[in-house]
Amino acid sequence: MQKIIAHWRKIIYGLLGLKLLAMLVLPIGGDFLYGWTYETGFVVRTLVAGKLPALSTYGVYIGIEMILAPFYWIWTKLPIQHPAVMSIVQHTAPAVSLGFLMEIPIILFDTATLVLLLRIVRHITNSEQKAIVAGLTWFGNPYNFYMLYFFGAMDIIPIAIFLLAIDLELEGRWFRCGIATMASGLLRLFAFAAYPFFIPLTKNNRNRINFILGSAIPVVFAIGLLYLSHDTLATVFNIPAQEFWLLEFLGFSVLGMQFVKWSVVLVILQLYVVARFWRAETNIVYLASVSLLALLLGATLYGGEAQHFLWVCPLLSACVAMHPEDAWIYALTFFTALISPTVNPFHPWTPEPRVLDTFLAGAFYAMKATYLLRLNLWSTSTRP
Amino acid sequence: MLVAVAAAVKLILSALSPASIDLTKIIMLVASGQAPMGPWVALYPPLYNETAANINQLQAWSSMAPFGSNPNFAMLSLLFRLPVFLCDLATMIVLFWIGKKMKSSAEGRLMSLVWFLNPFSFFGVELLCLPDILCILLVSLSFLLLISERPLLSAAALGLGSFVKLFPIFLLPPLLMYMRLNGARRRSLLSVTFVGVLGLFGYLAWVLPYGFEYLVTPTPVTQLVSFVGGVANTVNSVTFGMFAYYCLQFIFMKKTGPLPMLLSALLAYYLFAVPGPQYLIWVLALMAVDIAFADHLKAWIVSSLLVAVFLQWFLVSSAFLTPSGYSFLMFPLAGPSLPSYSVAIGEFLDSRLVGIIIMPLVSSLTFALTLAYTAEQIRSWFSVPPTK
């Protein structure tokens, strides 16, 4: 272990090289990368025509697609053929260049996540060694590698922004922390589950006001863009009707009650546990981890779609660095994540009937629940 | 002074408000000639006269809009709600005595005001006009007698409550556990059990003449027995939940006051069996007692819960719609030539936004806050103090 930590920079550079190679070699057909590329193409065409893409047309991922747009636009300027994404032939110059360009944001934000993790864990533990463990368990984690470079999970963009919020919180920059948290939430809803968990750490009214004011800025910015693109707030309210799958965040119904949703109940109960039982000197990494794990346990039967677990991965890396004695929970959680039916890269080729699916999904769910319980125990004092 | 003003407002609104859906159902039940006649009838003087002419007039009243031209209808409305109002007032007085007994008059005043001035209790008691208030009064009385160290009378109050409606019977096991923890003798425990169970038999005595119908069919005057029925050969969640709850209470509880024991049992039953917003009223009187001694966080939980449950009730009842087409809040919601604000409210309630986002969020929030509040009660079994 000491040897690995001593050569951590070389390992990071090696992993970086491997990831760059993967970007060049892997086809653009990855489940999500293809979808992102396809949708971004429309956004770029709208922007090039001098219009702002509208939420009502492009849906809730418009924010991430706007971030991806410059990379797609660069591809359109390359002196090569530019076939439509649907008819692109794999391993040709247009496909390779497009795949590589569209994965640049992934590697940029993946690396930013690494840097932020190093900073966060160093800040909390005052230990260079623990920071390196956190960095390596993130950057070298096969689950993350698969989700980012095979799957093309652009969730890494809001994740990195969310980690930036955590870093800013640790530095006591509450205004900027508010901006980053809200910006992350506007790109992907997950960060909203963690939002109330920041509040107990504000300690005084000044910080609280700064945090809330900071949070208002991305909202105002988003509303401005909304109206500039000729949409209204009604468009936002109609999103759940158009994109019904968004409601999977709410989870399944509790005790057969139609409107009582598991993930909302779990997050609120976790907030109660934090407010009542957690030690005052706890840190935001634990708070953010439990909020996201609670959300994942609630959302959908599998406890979140494949790419959703990615949200909590950097935080779990920080946790394992801070509590190496419980590394087995970390290892088992990621092992079960990799073999769970919604993630398992070999799943499509496993023979029917898939008798093991429920077992594997249950094992992953159980490990997330265990991690949630363990985090609560780390942070809770039950001394009389 | 405050109580006098609140009482006057309640009486005026009781006279003006339209009949609730539940009250209309009670009148229809009596009109059908199939009503299980129990102690609840005593609460409704207009129903004493069961002649066809009277019943017809009552049915006409139940669909009348407020502010009608006939002043007799306002009087009828008041007559229906007056006994219920008196029970409400009596509950307030019992709560005052509970507070005085537990600490001082100041706590007593706080408890009684939390109960009496709460809009939720006004909606749940006078406006709905259900016999549940009699049970709530008897449960509060039972608690007062328990802390006055009169367990047999306390059990008798519970028994009487169970005679009216079933839910107070679920407080009998924690009552027995409390007595056992405080060194009660076997004979005393047996007599309390006997008195308490007598109420249950009393309830069954006026419900069972109609077979099992009123055990499995909900009406405003009887209570659905959630332990029976459902899909055959499957686990009944209420049976499982309540058995598990009582077992855990028996195993883990070492020494605690009577309030967390009774309140947590009632909350557990509410959560497992009837987690609808209007039934939270069953717990509200004991909650008012608890609030007087609540810390900052518990006060937050209770306030948020009351707001959330009120909002949930507003949404699930289509803005407190009554058979008259008017809301309890006195504005029209159905019928011809509606004002624009009524149309806007109706459109909002029918919108997909409410159905698929706001309702799940509000309902889940209410459920989670009730769970958190129950956890607050259960926490005291273990005497785990807050660490911050």
pLDDT in tens, A143-165: 999 999 988 889 999 999 999 99
* Of residues B237, B352, B364, nearest to A265 (C-beta): B364
Nearest to B297 among A276, A381, A382 (CB): A276
**Is A250 in the B-facing interface, judged by CB distances under 8 Å?**
yes
Q: Inter-chain contact A237–B356, Cβ cutoff 8 Å?
A: no
Residues in chain A within 8 Å Cβ distance of B383: 384
Q: B234 to chain A nearest CA, in Å?
A: 14
Whose tokens are 């969640």? That residue is: B237
Long-range contacts of the stretch B292-296 (C-beta < 8 A, 24+):
B292/B99, B292/B102, B292/B103, B292/B107, B292/B110, B292/B111, B292/B114, B293/B102, B293/B103, B293/B107, B295/B386
Q: What is chain B's length?
A: 388
Phi, psi for residue A35 in degrees, rounded to 5: -60, -45
Greatest mean pLDDT among A50-54, A113-117, A152-156, B54-58 lies in A113-117
A383 falls in which pLDDT band (50, 70, 90)? very low
Do the chains contact at A272 and B364, CB–CB below 8 Å?
A: no
Q: Do A265 and B376 touch (CB under 8 A)?
A: no
Rounded to 5, what percent of chain A is helix, strand, coil?
A: 75, 0, 20
The interface residues of chain A toward chain B in range 108-147, judged by CB-CB distance below 8 A, are none
A13 contact B CB<8A: no
Statement: residue B361 has pLDDT above 60: yes
B364 contacts in A (CB within 8 Å)?
A: 250, 254, 259-261, 264-265, 268
Mean pLDDT within B12-16: 88
pLDDT the model gives residue A353:
61
Chain B contacts to A (CB-CB under 8 A) = 237, 272, 275, 297, 301, 352-353, 356-357, 359-365, 367-369, 371-372, 375-376, 379, 383-388
Q: What is the pLDDT of residue A159?
A: 96
User: Which pLDDT belongs to residue B69?
Assistant: 62
Inter-chain touch B237–A275, beta carbons under 8 Å:
no
Q: What is the average per-residue pLDDT within A310-335?
A: 92
Q: Which of B353, B369, B375 sits opposite A237 (nearest CB)?
A: B353
Residues 6+ apart with CB under 8 A from B279: B270
Q: Which among B301, B360, B386 is the nearest to A259, CB-wise?
A: B360
CB contact under 8 A, A260 and B360: yes
Mean pLDDT calculated for residue range B238-248? 87
Mutual angle of helices A174-187 and A205-228, in 10-degree steps: 40
CB < 8 Å to A240, chain B: 352-353, 356-357
**How far is A281 from chain B, CA to nearest CA, in Å?**
10
Strand partners, A278: A380
How many CB atoms lie under 10 A from the CB of residue A384?
A: 8
The pLDDT confidence band at residue B16, using thresholds 50, 70 and 90, is confident
In total, the C-beta contacts within 8 angstroms joining chain A to chain B are: 84
Tell if the CB–CB gap between A264 and B365 is shorter than 8 Å.
yes
Q: What does the pLDDT look like over B88-122, one tens digit per residue? A: 999 999 999 999 999 999 999 999 999 999 999 99
> What was the pLDDT predicted at B387?
45
Tell me the average pLDDT of chain A: 87
> What's the pLDDT band for A2 if we cut at 50, 70, 90?
confident
Q: How confident is residue B190, by pLDDT bands cut at 50, 70 and 90?
A: very high
Q: Which of A170, A135, A211, A192 is nearest to A311 (CA)?
A: A192
Mean pLDDT, residues B327-344 taken together: 85
pLDDT at A85: 79
Q: Cα–Cα distances in Å, from B44 out to A208, A277, A305, A349?
A: 53, 48, 56, 70
> Are residues A240 and B367, on separate chains, in Cβ contact within 8 Å?
no
pLDDT at residue A318 greater than cutoff 60: yes
Measured between beta carbons, the chain A residues lying within 8 angstroms of B359 are 259
Chain A residues with CB-CB distance to B375 below 8 A: 269, 272
Distance CA B94, CA A210 (A): 47
Whole-number percent of chain A with pLDDT over 90: 49
Find the CB nearest A264 among B301, B360, B386.
B360
Interface residue of B367, B369, B383 to substitute, partner A, most A CBs within 10 Å = B367
Chain B residues with beta carbon closer than 8 angstroms to that of A260? 275, 360, 363-364, 367
Q: Is A349 part of the contact surface with chain B (CB cutoff 8 Å)?
A: no
Find the mean pLDDT for residues A375-382: 76
- What residues of B are in contact with residue A237 (Cβ under 8 Å)? 353
Q: Do A275 and B367 touch (CB under 8 A)?
A: no
Q: A1 in contact with B at a CB cutoff of 8 Å?
A: no
| Contact state of A260 with B364 under an 8 Å Cβ cutoff | yes
Q: What mean pLDDT is predicted for residues B282-296?
A: 93
The pLDDT assigned to B299 comes to 93
Is B237 in Cβ contact with A255 (below 8 Å)? yes
In the predicted model, is pLDDT for residue B251 greater than 60?
yes
CA distance B275 to chain A (A): 9
Split at pLDDT 50, 70, 90, the class of A15 is: very high
* Chain A residue nearest residue B298, CA to CA: A276
Q: What's the gap in Å between the CA of A277 and the closest CA on chain B?
A: 6
Local confidence band at A351 (pLDDT 50, 70, 90 cut-offs): low
Q: How confident is the model at residue A384 (pLDDT cuts 50, 70, 90)?
A: very low
Is there a contact between A369 and B371 (Cβ–Cβ < 8 Å)?
Answer: no
Testing the interface with B: which of A235, A265, A381 to mutate, by most B Cβ within 10 A? A265
Q: Is A363 in the B-facing interface, judged by CB distances under 8 Å?
A: no
pLDDT at B388 over 50: no
The CA distance from B74 to B12, in Å, is 9
- Cβ contact (<8 Å) for A269 and B368? yes
Indicate the average pLDDT of chain B. 88
Task: Determine which of A189, A192, A246, A259 to mutate to test the interface with B (most B C-beta atoms within 10 Å).
Answer: A259
Judge: A268–B388 Cβ closer than 8 Å, yes or no. no
What residue type is B352 in one-letter code? R
State how far the Cα of A106 lies from the Cα of A101, in Å rounded to an integer: 10
Percent with pLDDT over 70 in chain B: 96
Q: What are the two backbone dihedrals, phi and then psi, of residue B239, each rounded to the nearest 5 degrees?
A: -60, -50
Decide if pLDDT at A66 tops 50. Answer: yes
Cα of B235 to nearest chain A Cα, Å:
12
Residues B187-191, mean pLDDT to the nearest whole number: 94
Which A residues in the span 229-248 are in contact with B, Cβ-Cβ below 8 Å?
A: 237-238, 240-241, 244, 247
HSE at residue B309, side-chain half, CA atoms within 13 A, is 27
Contact A264 B368 (CB under 8 A): yes
| C-alpha distances out from residue A203 to A168, A208, A294, A345, B142, Å | 15, 8, 24, 45, 43
* Distance in Å, alpha carbon of B357 to nearest chain A alpha carbon: 7
